[in-house]
Amino acid sequence: MTTVFGIPVAVILGQLMLGLVNGSFYALLSLGLAVIFGLMGVVNFAHGAFYTLGAFAALLGLQLYGVNYWVALVLAPLAVGVLGIVVERLLLRRLYGLDPLYGLLLTFGLALVAEGSLHQVFGATGQSYPVPPSLAGGMNLGFMFLPLYRAWVIVASVVVCFGTWFVIERTRLGATLRAATENAPLLQAFGVNVPLLVAVTYGGGVALAALAGVLAAPVVLVNSQMGSSLVIVVFAVVVIGGMGSILGSIVSGLALGIIEGFTKVIYPEASNVVVFLIMALVLVLRPAGLFGKD
């Protein structure tokens, strides 16, 4: 078997694959965070909780109503997105104009409510969500074994990420959104319903998190804590990339996933902390973040 520095190539590629899967989740989550932050100036601490809710929505849909994976992939983000709009309309909007730290604290409280309730109702042990039959198994590429589901997660995330980028940067709706980010009162004066736009953006951002949750359900154990540790890594990704650019958050999410995967091969003990170490390094060398503007 071919080896690089004494490590079999198949192992390296396998970890690279796992890293890319994690990176896809980082990218989807940091993208949502960046869009929400750009428009509302709110750091959505509940982002991890919405990701968890997406996974639970898929799981419960399957267990209670027999909703299959592909339907859940559409319905769960939709349901969570609507919940997000309700949260924005009822709670978050009361904090506009105040110090942005209050938005962070409010969403932190919401995350505790959601995760605490899920923990109490479903217990601490995770439940597994079956891989959809059409994506079960894998392909032997000769040099490595490619699990189909993981490949699907990567492709789907990349397509969704770049789709979001396209909508924001290249369509009329995206132009309106960017205009609201620049100067909301002026846009409102032109007759655009800015509060509606804000609510829908928040819903869209958390729907992306829920989508990541459904994609993750078959590869992780679905439990109430799955989002809370992930969101901390995503925050580090956001500090590294800077929240100024959509493309920046996608690229840094994927890249950090890959770096994490490589670390698992070279020095497994550090794989949990490598993203935080890179964040510290970036803060020393380029405090505004790699793609940051401020």
Partner 1 sequence: MRATAILYALAVLFALCVPLLGIYPVFMMQLLCFAMFACAYNLLLGFGRMLSFGHAAFFGAAAYATGWLVSAHAWGPGLAVLAGVATAGALGLVIGSLAIRRQGIYFAMITLALAQLVYFVCLEAPFTGGENGLQGVPRGRLFGLLSLRSDLVMYYLVLAVFVAVFVFIRRVVHSPFGQVLKAIRDNESRAVSLGYEINRYKLLAFVLSASLAGLAGSLKALVFGFVTLTDVQQSTSGEAVLMTLLGGTGTFFGPVAGAAIVVTLQEYLSDLVGGWVTAIIGAVFVVCVLAFRRGIIGELAARLPLRLARPAAAQPP
Which residues here bind partner 1, judged by CB under 8 A?
Answer: 37, 43, 91, 94-95, 98-102, 104-106, 108-117, 119-120, 228-229, 232-233, 235-236, 238-239, 269, 272-273, 275-277, 279-280, 283-284, 287
For residues 128 and 229, which CB has a smaller minimum distance to partner 1 in the complex?
Answer: 229
For residues 49 and 160, which CB has a smaller minimum distance to partner 1 in the complex?
Answer: 49
CA distance 46 to 24: 19
Smallest gap, in angstroms, from Cβ of residue 169 to partner 1? 24
For residues 71 and 91, which CB has a smaller minimum distance to partner 1 in the complex?
Answer: 91
Smallest gap, in angstroms, from Cβ of residue 273 to partner 1? 5
Q: At what angle do helices 226-241 and 100-122 cross, to 10 degrees?
A: 150
Write the burial class of residue 273 (CB in 10 Å: 0-12 exposed, 13-18 middle, 19+ buried): middle
Smallest gap, in angstroms, from Cβ of residue 136 to partner 1? 33
Q: At what angle do helices 69-90 and 47-65 cross, to 10 degrees?
A: 130
Alpha helices in the chain (DSSP H): 9-40, 47-65, 69-90, 100-122, 148-170, 172-182, 184-189, 194-216, 226-241, 246-266, 274-285
The label of the residue with tokens 């929240």 reads: 243
Smallest gap, in angstroms, from Cβ of residue 281 to partner 1? 10
Smallest gap, in angstroms, from Cβ of residue 172 to partner 1? 30
Smallest gap, in angstroms, from Cβ of residue 34 to partner 1? 12
For residues 127 and 225, which CB has a smaller minimum distance to partner 1 in the complex?
Answer: 225
For residues 109 and 137, which CB has a smaller minimum distance to partner 1 in the complex?
Answer: 109
Q: How far is CA 58 from CA 63, 124, 258, in A?
A: 9, 18, 27
For residues 19 and 103, which CB has a smaller minimum distance to partner 1 in the complex?
Answer: 103
- Strand pairing of 138-140 and 145-147? antiparallel
CA distance 204 to 184: 18
Amino acid at 133: P
